[in-house]
């Protein structure tokens, strides 16, 4: 995998919205946070556009993405928020040219589709991390969430252990491989497409938001029957953002599904639709252990 160059204070970065227009006030609050990190922020020209014509909106979103990737003055690209529609954008991207212009690409939720597509077809490390409008506005952001951006300024590996959140072991063991994955709904939607996640020899990250236990069971079964778990080396389950009663039902689903798994499975990482929301690079080497429960991840930048 190609790694983008680490960010430095004074670098120029772009904010784009491939999955839908953000709340303007929230986006501007998030932009100020990026500026406080020492970054110069350029907002894509179509970030706030809302079109009734879906094809025209897709074209505008692709224009913003291409402009950001192909502008040599831009060092990183941050997504504004999630939503829907990233899957429509994926076939329209120029992956060969993106590979020639490697830079930080950061987001999650619906952006999972693009994180995996760019990683798969451009060979570029991408970043599953908090977004500018939905996570950095004053109502949502936490100090821990903000701290995760520092991984872009350093070549140091990341360590996630029980000091970040209470980690629950579902299946014991040790696994090593490149880190892939993201939002479970988007990963399931990508099955059978050119953008299907390839988890062979990998540590697989799964997170979602507000899905009931029966849907989690359906998605895990779908991923399993599609062969996604065939050569997985470990599974990291992020925050699923459900009420306590539903969480108990989901825990039983996870226990039943991964019983006897020949790879480690650890859940309750604060990765995904939660605060704090810790970032992780995708495509780099990672090691998942259960004694103690810990995820060690190689830096996503060089």
Give me the DSSP letters along the chain. -B-PPPP-TT-EEEEE-TT-PPPHHHHHHHHHHHHHTT-EEEE-TTTT---S-HHHHHHHHHHHHHHHHH-TTEEEEEE----S-HHHHGGGS-HHHHHTS--EEEE-GGGHHHHHHHHHHH-B-EEE---HHHHSSTTT--HHHHHGGGGGG----EEEETTTS--EEEE--EEEEEEEEEEHHHHHHTTTSTT----TTEEEEEE-SS--HHHHHHHHHHHHHTTTTTT--EEEEE-----HHHHHHHHHHHHHHHTT-SS-EEEEES-SSSSS---EEESSEEEEEETTEEEEE--S--
Q: Which residues are catalytic?
A: 109, 207, 273
pLDDT for residue 52: 77
pLDDT in tens, 30-63: 999 999 999 999 999 999 999 778 899 999 999 9
- Considering the entire predicted model, what is its pTM? 0.96
Q: Taking residues 81-95, what's their average pLDDT?
A: 97
105, pLDDT greater than 90: yes
User: Which residues does residue 293 pair with via DSSP β-bridges, in sequence order?
Assistant: 290
- Residue 43 phi, psi dihedral angles, 5° rounding: -95, 130
pLDDT in tens, 177-228: 999 999 999 999 999 999 999 999 999 999 999 999 999 999 999 999 999 9
CB 22 within 8 A of CB 132: yes
**Distances in Å between the alpha carbon of 219 and those of 38, 89, 247, 256, 259?**
41, 23, 16, 14, 17
138: pLDDT confidence band, cut at 50, 70 and 90?
confident
pLDDT in tens, 226-240: 999 999 999 999 999
Q: Taking residues 280-287, what's their average pLDDT?
A: 98
Q: Taking residues 263-283, what's their average pLDDT?
A: 96
């Amino acid at each position: 995998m190609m790694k983008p160059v680490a960010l430095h204070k004074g670098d120029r970065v772009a904010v784009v919205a491939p999955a839908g227009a953000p709340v303007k006030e929230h986006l501007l609050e998030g932009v100020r946070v990026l500026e406080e990190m020492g970054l110069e922020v350029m907002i894509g020209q179509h970030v706030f556009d809302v079109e009734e014509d879906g094809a025209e909106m897709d074209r505008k979103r692709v224009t913003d993405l291409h402009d950001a990737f192909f502008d040599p003055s831009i060092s990183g690209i941050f997504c504004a928020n999630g939503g829907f529609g990233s899957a429509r954008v994926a076939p329209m991207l120029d992956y060969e040219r993106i590979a020639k212009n490697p830079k930080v690409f950061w987001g999650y939720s619906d952006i999972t589709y693009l994180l995996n597509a760019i990683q798969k077809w451009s060979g570029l490390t991408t970043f599953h991390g908090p977004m500018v409008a939905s996570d950095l506005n004053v109502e949502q952001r936490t100090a821990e969430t903000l701290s995760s951006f520092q991984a872009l300024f350093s070549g140091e590996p990341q360590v996630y252990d029980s000091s970040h959140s209470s980690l629950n072991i579902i299946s014991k063991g040790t696994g090593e491989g490149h880190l892939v994955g993201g939002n479970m709904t988007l990963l399931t939607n990508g099955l059978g497409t050119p953008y299907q996640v390839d988890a062979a020899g990998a540590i697989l990250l799964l997170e979602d938001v507000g899905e009931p236990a029966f849907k989690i069971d359906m998605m895990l079964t779908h991923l399993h029957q599609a062969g996604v778990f065939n050569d997985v080396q470990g599974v990291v389950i992020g925050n699923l953002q459900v009420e306590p009663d539903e969480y108990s039902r989901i825990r039983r689903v996870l226990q039943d599904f991964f019983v006897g798994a020949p790879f480690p499975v650890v859940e309750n990482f604060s990765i995904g639709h939660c605060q704090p929301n810790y970032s992780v690079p995708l495509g780099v080497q990672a090691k998942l252990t259960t004694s103690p429960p810990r995820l060690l991840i190689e830096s996503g930048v060089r």
